[in-house]
Amino acid sequence: MLSRVADSIYWTSRYIERAEAVARFIAVNLNISMDLSTAGNQQWRPLVTTTGDNEMFSETYGEATKRNVIEFLTFDRKNPNSILTCLINARENARSIRERISAEMWEHINRFYLMVKDVGDAEGILDDLHDFYDAVRNSGQQFVGVTDATMTHGEGWHFCQLGRFLERADKMSRILDVKYYILLPSPQHVGSPFDDLQWAALLRSASAYEMYRQRFGRITPHNVVDFLMLDKEFPRAVLHCLTRANESLHAITGSDIEGFTNLPEQRLGQLRAEFAFTSATDIIGRGLHEFIDDFQTRLNSVGESIGTTFFSLQPV
């Protein structure tokens, strides 16, 4: 497969997953506000912080009001991580490889893009936020289903899987980071009903509430971290995502999954092994925020090595 084609498939998948993840970030706040009406504007700034675009937001919007944050994260074309920008980029990547993806995938990306673009700006959804972001999440999930049902599960599909699961692992860790360090207003709230409401809202935003309840019952920070970071079977848990990404990476190269033949296989294998042999107690003991910071740095290095190994032009 041409590196240009692999690059476009990989990033199409990542951008669609990222758009869905931003909708999930916002859903955390919306779910909390349904349970606690006194949260106020202070709850919107963390959503910007977690994307890493705080400086850009402050320069453009200043105050982190509900309207400003929704505009920035959803419709701002200058924000490289807004939902609309992600869909524009996904559509452009898909356009360049139309002959390598199914017609159903292309049509779905177009419908998804037009659904968001036609709204225009934040004013168009302020009275209907839940339905809009539910539609964004559903469209993201439908793209996964359309891709799995209409694309040959060969090399291209594995690049699609690789991009999706790396992006999902990154965004799941960021959702946890927002809750644990920023959304909690003060230490005395730990273990309080307010704290429980936030953890429940986080689980719902990750589409994990029912599966978590079936496994653990009572909501505790330790068990939420265990489920969302270390569960082997839940499809949005970080360990599950790393495992699936690792499987697709080795399927692309044809190498033994127990070893490595290139830098991305080595880095991703080491990262997955660390998650497979750690515990929620170890993570919390080390500091969840610090653990996630280190994880995101290492995950970025995996992504960089994938770009260098598979997508960069090699000197002749």
On the CB side of 209, CA atoms within 13 Å amount to: 13
Task: Dump the DSSP string for 108-157.
Answer: HHHHHHHHHHTT-SGGGTTT-HHHHHHHHHHHHHHHHHHHHHHS-TTHHH
Highest-confidence segment of 183-187, 190-194, 234-238: 234-238
pLDDT, tens digit, for every residue of 90-139?
A: 999 999 999 999 999 999 999 999 999 998 888 888 788 889 999 999 99
CA distance 233 to 169: 14
Q: Cβ distance 237 to 207 under 8 Å?
A: no
Q: Mean pLDDT over residues 294-316, rounded?
A: 87
| Nearest by Cα to 207 from 73, 19, 23 | 23
Residue 182 has pLDDT above 70, yes or no: no
Q: Which helix (H) or strand (E) holds 8?
A: helix 3-35
41: confidence class by pLDDT, cuts 50, 70, 90:
very low
List the domain boundaries for the chain: 1-151, 153-315
Q: Cβ distance 250 to 257 under 8 Å?
A: yes
pLDDT score of 289: 84
More confident residue, 313 or 17: 17
pLDDT score of 184: 54
More confident residue, 99 or 45: 99
CA distance 92 to 98: 10
More confident residue, 47 or 306: 306
pLDDT, tens digit, for every residue of 243-272?
A: 999 999 999 999 999 889 999 999 999 999
Strand, helix or coil for residue 238: helix
Torsion of CA 116, 122, 123, 125, to 10 degrees: 50
Tokens of 108: 């779905």
39: confidence class by pLDDT, cuts 50, 70, 90:
very low
Strand, helix or coil for residue 236: coil
Residue 45 has pLDDT above 90, yes or no: no
Q: Cβ distance 91 to 110 under 8 Å?
A: yes
Residue 38 has pLDDT above 80, yes or no: no
pLDDT score of 268: 97
Tokens of 65: 């009001």
Q: Mean pLDDT over residues 57-79, rounded?
A: 91
Considering the chain, what percentage of its residues have pLDDT values greater than 90? 64
Amino acid at the residue 273: A
Q: Mean pLDDT over residues 182-206, rounded?
A: 69
CA distance 264 to 159: 13
pLDDT score of 125: 84
Strand, helix or coil for residue 213: helix
Q: Mean pLDDT over residues 283-305, rounded?
A: 92
More confident residue, 28 or 65: 65
Tokens of 180: 């644990």
